[in-house]
Amino acid sequence: MNEQNSSLLDKIISSKEVSDISHFNAVETISLLLKLVSSKEEDILRRRYGLSGDKEETLEEIGNHFNVTRERIRQIENSSVKKIKKSKDFNSLIKETESIITNLIHKHGGVMAKDYFYEKLLSYSGDNKANRNAVKFLMDKILDDKYSTLKKGNLKESWQLKSANLKILEKSCQLFFEIFKKINKPLSQEQILHEFKKTDFYDSEKEALSDEALVSYLRVSKKIDINPFGDFGLSRWGSINPKRINDKIHLVLKKHGKPLHFTKIAELINKAEFDRKKAYPPTVHNELILNNEYVLVGRGIYAFKKWGYKSGVVSDVIEDVLNKADHPLKRDEIINKVLERRMVKKNTILLALSDKEKFKKNPDKTYFLVKQKQE
């Protein structure tokens, strides 16, 4: 098959996968399957696995409701699941759902972290409690002969195809960890995949390592995580899982790439939902004042000092500009250079420039420092 035909086939397959997932409805599938058992058995399964969108109930809670022992509820639960799977209609009811799930996991390297799996599978129907409970019931009870839960060392709890190659997964995770450790900074998805594809391992296993598989493996490793802005890095880094208020401020400013008011920074921290801790403007302001990596560049507006912004009043910034230039500058040149370091109005700069004890104007309308002239 030539490259053009192969590309066309990939597009057709991808289009079908999107169409399948867009029509995937786990709650509807569950409702059809539960028609294969009695109303009492359906009620028990719905309660036990939260299949009506409610919380999952314990065996004891359900037993108390029906006035029987928890062991009796366990027996009914197990016999009900067996009844569903032995029904003559089972295969026809589950076939399409099984195909969609198998294709999704296979496309992602045979292993998907559970949260990532939900994110992809429920991208159209909605990643909510009811849909997650329905999918979990399908995976754990109905299709448990096809998929299994992976719980292993430095890997997040995942679902895997029983045919998945775990050696390739584990080696990939280790290589990703080593790359991040060496580069020592967060990377976008494109950047980390680019670095991974430079390795000899990728060259030897590229047939099994599609981009989808590699991203899935990134999401499986406990040592690696993704921050709310889509950057990958080591889980222990503050830039990936920020715990301190300064880490959160740093991430927000870096992401937006421009000076921000402290109240806006607090708002963006809360919007990013790094954790359940709410950021309050006074707390953010105090951190910005006390940490010397930030500089006040306007009324309540802060920036990274490394961006080249200058602290102090506007006249101090003008003085620094002229000192560094080491020759007189025109008014507009001064204004532009000050605005690179401070977020102030032009009139504020002009007012500061009118201080004749500090600045003088030449006949050619350039400005110089009085102390420079005196020297």
Mean pLDDT (whole number) for 193-211? 95
Q: How confident is the model at residue 313 (pLDDT cuts 50, 70, 90)?
A: confident
pLDDT at residue 1 is higher than 80: no
Mean pLDDT (whole number) for 271-289? 92
Per-residue model confidence as pLDDT tens digits over 342-363: 777 888 889 888 888 889 999 9
Q: H or E element: which one contains 319?
A: helix 314-325
Q: Name the residue with higher pLDDT: 114 or 320.
A: 114
pLDDT at 16: 58
pLDDT at residue 142 is higher than 50: yes
Q: Name the residue with higher pLDDT: 18 or 1.
A: 18
74: tokens are 């366990």
pLDDT at 86: 96
Pairing between β-strand 366-369 and β-strand 329-330 as defined by DSSP bridges: antiparallel
Q: Tell me how far apart the alpha carbons of residues 160 and 147 are, in angstroms, rounded to a whole number.
A: 6
Q: H or E element: which one contains 111?
A: strand 111-113
Question: Where does the chain hold its CATH 1.10.10 domain(s)?
Answer: 165-234, 245-307, 314-374
Q: How confident is the model at residue 17 (pLDDT cuts 50, 70, 90)?
A: low
Count CB neighbours of 134 within 10 A: 25
pLDDT at residue 8 is higher than 50: no
Which of these CATH numbers, 3.40.1000, 1.10.10, 1.10.3470, 2.30.30, describes 165-234?
Answer: 1.10.10
List the end-to-end C-alpha distance of the chain, in Å, as a whole number. 79
Mean pLDDT (whole number) for 320-346? 87
Q: How confident is the model at residue 374 (pLDDT cuts 50, 70, 90)?
A: very low
Q: Name the residue with higher pLDDT: 341 or 133.
A: 133
Residues 352 and 314 sit within 8 Å (Cβ to Cβ): yes
Scored b (16 or more CB within 10 A) or e, 151-169 reads eeeebbebbbbeebeeebb
Q: Tell me how far apart the alpha carbons of residues 182 and 178 are, in angstroms, rounded to a whole number.
A: 6
> For 314-374, which CATH class?
mainly alpha
Q: Mean pLDDT score of the chain, rounded to an integer?
A: 90
Mean pLDDT (whole number) for 208-233? 95
Q: Mean pLDDT lowest for which of 137-141, 145-149, 189-193?
A: 145-149
Which of 208, 204, 179 minimizes the C-alpha distance to 193?
179
Count CB neighbours of 88 within 10 A: 7
User: Can you give the pTM of this predicted structure?
Assistant: 0.74
Q: H or E element: which one contains 150?
A: strand 147-152
Percentage of the chain exceeding pLDDT 70: 94
pLDDT at 373: 53
Percentage of the chain exceeding pLDDT 90: 67
Mean pLDDT (whole number) for 321-347? 87
Q: How confident is the model at residue 12 (pLDDT cuts 50, 70, 90)?
A: very low
Mean pLDDT (whole number) for 121-140? 92
pLDDT at 375: 45
Per-residue model confidence as pLDDT tens digits over 72-125: 999 999 999 999 999 999 999 999 999 999 999 999 999 999 999 999 999 888
Mean pLDDT (whole number) for 9-35? 76
Q: What are phi and psi of 49, to 5 degrees?
A: -115, 10
pLDDT at 125: 87
CATH 3.30.460, applies to 245-307: no
